[in-house]
Structure 1
Amino acid sequence: MLKLRGHHLFCMIGFRGMGYSEEYADNMKKIHAQLRRNPHTSFQLIAGADDLCAKFPCDQPYHCDAERVAQQDATFLQKLQLQIGDVLTWHDVEQLVKKSVTPTVINEVCYDCSWREYGVCEEGVGHIQQNKGLFPVT
């Protein structure tokens, strides 16, 4: 079963193929494709490093255990009314995003994220709210 942390739910929503390294992006692409292809894929919410963090490049500053990242996780889980340990499907996440999140939440919570400047997460939230699911990634 997949293991994902809170803020990575939103990284999945915004993912377009970019990553910290080729290996990281390939891993994310694999998980993203699985969720896109089968939105009823189950996963568990965890605290700390997850299946995406597992491929974080060792030649870059590791931030997966940083307090700021844990705060982002907690904020997103609170907005979706989820808790660590919950097991749910990607379809469940999309329904919760449609009900509880606006694109502006990305600027509020991820204000210091290096990927925010691309606007892909805000677009992804809008895409989910329009019942279009995850963006395709080639």
Structure 2
Amino acid sequence: MTVKLRAHHLLCLLTYVGKGYSPAFTANYDKVVKRLGEGEAVVIVAGPDDVCAPLLGEPEPHCLRESAAERDRIAARDVGALLGRPIQAGDRLVLDAHKLAGMRKAFSAGLTRQACSGCEWSGLCDTVAASGFSDTYL
């Protein structure tokens, strides 16, 4: 089995500390992060993913907006540059401890944060990164 993630969620999961849009969203995110922590692979998807699932029943889910797709394009570019290979729909990744550490280091240094511009969670992510990612779930 694999966890379906859109590219910008590769960045979001680095700072996930159990906060989200709603209790259902957070409970679902907890399950996704648990699966990743147990070593389940990621498959990159275009559009809504396993994290987005609880929001898709809303009248106008932000997961379907062009702004989310643009975040994906930017995150794929930046994470791909970090990992030394393109990131696109269909790609599979295993987020082991070494890869996560490198991604967090780049995130803290601002190398992969362009996709975060304008995100309502950016302040929380700044705080989590500044704390050394100490309370993250993954």
**Cα separation, 1, equivalents of 2:16 and 2:9:** 10
> Are 1:80 and 2:89 an aligned pair?
no
Aligned-partner residue type, residue 55 of structure 2 = F
> Are 1:119 and 2:131 an aligned pair?
no
Q: Is the 8 A contact 2:78 2:111 kept in 1?
A: no
Alignment of 1:1-138 (within 5 A): 1-36=2-37, 38=38, 40-56=39-55, 58-59=57-58, 61-81=60-80, 82-91=87-96, 93-94=99-100, 97=103, 101-103=106-108, 104-105=110-111, 108-120=114-126, 123=129, 127=133, 135-136=136-137
- With 49-58 and 9-18 compared, the bigger mean Cα shift is at 49-58
**Cα separation, 2, equivalents of 1:121 and 1:42:** 28
Percent identity of paired positions between Structure 1 and Structure 2: 27
Residues 3-50 of structure 1, C-alpha deviation per residue, up to 9 Å, x if partnerless?
1100111111111111111111000011112222x2x32121000011
Aligned-partner residue type, residue 35 of structure 1 = L
What's the TM-score once normalised by structure 2's chain length? Answer: 0.76
| Cα distance change on mapping 1:42 and 1:121 into 2, 3 Å | farther
Aligned-partner residue type, residue 122 of structure 2 = R
CA RMSD of aligned residues (A): 2.9
TM-superposed CA distance for 1:135, in Å, is: 1.9
Instruction: Report the number of matched residues.
Output: 129
Aligned-partner residue type, residue 136 of structure 1 = Y
What's the TM-score once normalised by structure 1's chain length? Answer: 0.76
Residues 59-102 of structure 1, C-alpha deviation per residue, up to 9 Å, x if partnerless?
57411111111111111111121221101111275266268x23
Gaps of at least 5 residues in structure 2 are: 81-86
Q: Is the 8 A contact 2:47 2:63 kept in 1?
A: yes
TM-superposed CA distance for 1:108, in Å, is: 3.0
Aligned-partner residue type, residue 25 of structure 1 = T
TM-superposed CA distance for 1:58, in Å, is: 3.8
